[in-house]
A and B are shown apart, each in its own frame.
Chain A
Amino acid sequence: MLKLAGLVALVAGAAVAAEPVQPSCSLVPGWTQSGAPRSYDADHLFEYMDGNAEGYVRYNFQEMHGVTCKKGDITFVVDISDMGDADFAYGWFSANRDLRTPEFRVGMGGQIVPRRLIFAKGKYYVEIAADPEGDHTAALQAFASALDRAVPGETSPPGALGWFPKEKLQSLKLAPESVLGLRILERGYVAQYDYGKAFVVMDDAASEVMTKLKQRFGQIIPAKIADEAFVATDQYLGRMCVFRKGRYVGGYAISADGADPVTLATALAAAIK
């Protein structure tokens, strides 16, 4: 009955957005719940994951509902976190995924490694940790499919991700503050490549941001990209080309020889719709 109640809660959560979305072990046949369900808000998440809660909170964590499931000697710790909106949910997923490992198509994006599943869907970040050591991929895939059906929300990743070139991409994540380590760039996507970084920040005061960036880098050379642009050099960020296109500030910071930041930034600006 408890399992059924959990399933009902999850389905109800899917139908009524205001209700919390709670996982249930009964989503996959053969699994049973171990212990009581758990829930945490931002003020108490540290009780569950002391030493790691700050990362969640930094990505706008609202609340988490979780349950522990068992099948024989195998334990799955299943948690669904409400990150407030899809940008933050995908952003936290992007901060946690490993682009060296293949994507698993679930929700807006997911990843399965032998002992772990993570994915984002709508405003939710879903994760399962498996124990003991071993390859739990098949069972994790079963849970991923079941949870994908149960968790509400959009399945398309943020459109901004499509603006960045895929070639030689090492990571692509949402930086919730201080993009490129610069406080001026408050929040945006950063793509790491073999040769440097690309970034896009949306800011209603984009013109003001550009002015501050020019002051920050000092010796700049104007460039002709989008609404305004400049080229500069920074000891740590390398050869930079920064542009503004409407409310977006973007650009490249190149650390390797060969790549041309102006050419790359021009293409990035053109990709921004």
Chain B
Amino acid sequence: MDSSSRRTFLAAGLALPAAASATTTDSPQTPSQAPVRPAQAPSFQYRTLGKTGLKVTTVGFGCMITSDGSVVERAADLGITYFDTARGYQQGNNERMVGAALKRKRNQIVLSTKSHAATRADALADLDTSLKELGTDHVDIWYLHAKSRPDEITDELIDAQQTARKAGKIRFAGVSTHSGQPELIPFLAKHEKIDVILTAYNFAIDPAVTAAIEQAAKAGKGIVAMKVMAGGSRGGRGRGGPNPNAEKLKKPGAMAAVLRWVTRNPSVHTTIPSMTDMEQLEENIRAGVLAFSDDDAKLLAVHREVIRPFYCNMCGQCDGMCRQGLPVRDVLRFRMYADGYGQFALGRERFQELPAQHAAVRCSECPGCTVACPHGVNVAGGLIRAQELFAC
């Protein structure tokens, strides 16, 4: 069955299965393909979560903003195997909802939660509360929540994870990260006590993150991707400014393409797009059972054209053009950290590391920009934006 006929079949109705058949796609040399079984419901793609050995669907379920447990319950029935929550989501009310929804399927799914705690005692107390609220005696993966620097992975937090593991309360230890990945992920890749890395990852992210997760996956770490919709699914706010992707990704098929862009990467073992309702669940499952297609590539290429004036590809052809001597690529990259990748703090930090004479430049006061980008990037606008964002 070619992709169009698969799509036709899927579009005909989401007669989704109670149990999906497996297609394991562990090898980077054998890109995943949706199973071709026209008489049956669509099959999920499965991958192995690094050395944990856990088999997971490439489309998992981020429960953080789910409005009703029935959506989680149905997702498990349909065959999604990975579910993620956290102690801090709605003061634990989210864990309670997730636990109740997955009660019937607990032994058939991979369940993860997280703790924001900074000390061993607080972390272990969080875990006990999580287990109670989730109604289970163990979670499969327990993450240290929202870390961005190696020094945040303290010995006592690692000890908390190991203690919990010995007690049978967790099966595997993980770290979640929203920022600082180019530095943090390589550190985690080498950390023998960390099994799984949960990281923000999408088509608009810093290419250095792609390289970092590839390295980590090769080291045997399980890789779980979050923020996969690049801010385009709902709202798009909350990271360094109104997300430029949010409005532009409303084109039909765009969100599916964005999700498939992530799942096509064999170093990403599963994803946790947020799903608020049954409709979104079905959209994501439809998206996830198909391989990244030429149509998807075209759609994202169009999107890249739209965002081209904003995004520098770091080709370096503008080096030396600025009459003020600004390192144009660097400053545009700092701005992209905030506006494109949602890493405002990182962008500001890097900007403030510029030599004083460069940090003091205000392009808005310059009589005509001498930098001409051969790819159409609005250089002056980007530099001014960076200075407005980061210069104090």
Contact = CB atoms under 8 A, between A and B. Distances in A.
B179 A179 contact: no
Contacts of A181: 66-71, 74, 276-278
A181 B67 CA distance: 6
A96 B93 CA distance: 7
B278 A182 contact: yes
Given A51-B114, A181-B277, A57 B241 contact: no
Given A236-B73, A236-B74, A237-B70, A43 B145 contact: no
Nearest to A253: B70
Contacts of B176: 51
A44 interface: yes
B238 A53 contact: yes
Interface string A66-100: 00000000000000000000000000000111100
Interface string A53-72: 11101100000000000000
A107 to B, nearest CB: 17
A168 interface: no
A197 B235 CA distance: 28
A50 B179 contact: yes
A51 B88 contact: yes
B73 A182 contact: no
A173 B148 CA distance: 33
B237 A175 contact: no
Contacts of A25: none
A46 B70 contact: no
B324 interface: no
Contacts of A46: 178, 238-239, 342, 344
A183 interface: yes
Contact of B344 (A44, A58, A171, A175): A44
A50 B178 contact: yes
B146 A50 contact: yes
A133 B237 contact: no
A178 B242 CA distance: 23
A77 to B, nearest CB: 12
Nearest to A190: B68
A201 B277 CA distance: 16
A57 B235 contact: yes
A53 B237 CA distance: 10
Interface string B66-84: 1111110110000000000
Interface in A137-181: 171, 173, 175-181
Q: Name the residue in A51, A179, A180, A183 with the highest tally of chain B Cβ atoms < 10 Å from its Cβ.
A: A51
B226 to A, nearest CB: 9
A97 B277 CA distance: 22
B64 A43 contact: no
A109 B296 CA distance: 49
Nearest to B345: A47
A272 interface: no
A96 B176 CA distance: 22
A43 B93 contact: no
Contacts of B125: 133
Contacts of A237: 70
Nearest to A95: B90
Interface residues of A, number: 37
Interface in B5-19: none
B67 A54 contact: no
A42 interface: yes
A52 interface: yes
A43 B70 contact: no
B301 interface: no
B238 A55 contact: no
Given A52-B88, A96-B90, A47 B70 contact: no
B240 interface: yes
Contacts of A44: 240, 344
A215 to B, nearest CB: 13
A96 B91 contact: yes
A45 interface: yes
A54 B63 CA distance: 12
Given A55-B65, A133-B121, A98 B92 contact: yes
A43 B178 contact: no
B148 to A, nearest CB: 7
A41 B145 CA distance: 22
A132 to B, nearest CB: 9
A55 B89 contact: yes
Contacts of B73: 236
A184 B145 CA distance: 33
Nearest to B236: A57
Interface in A233-263: 235-237
B312 interface: no
B271 to A, nearest CB: 16
B68 A54 contact: no
B116 interface: yes
Contacts of A97: 91
A176 B234 CA distance: 12
Contact of B146 (A51, A133, A179, A180): A51
B28 to A, nearest CB: 29
A58 B122 contact: no
Contacts of B66: 181
B131 interface: no
A181 B276 CA distance: 6
Given A51-B146, A183-B279, A197-B68, 9 more contacts: A46-B342, A57-B237, A177-B277, A178-B68, A179-B67, A181-B67, A181-B278, A236-B70, A236-B74
8 contacts: A42-B238, A46-B178, A57-B235, A57-B237, A96-B91, A98-B92, A177-B276, A178-B276
Q: Which 9 A-B pairs have the closest CB atoms?
A: A178-B277, A181-B68, A51-B146, A236-B70, A181-B71, A50-B146, A96-B91, A178-B67, A178-B276
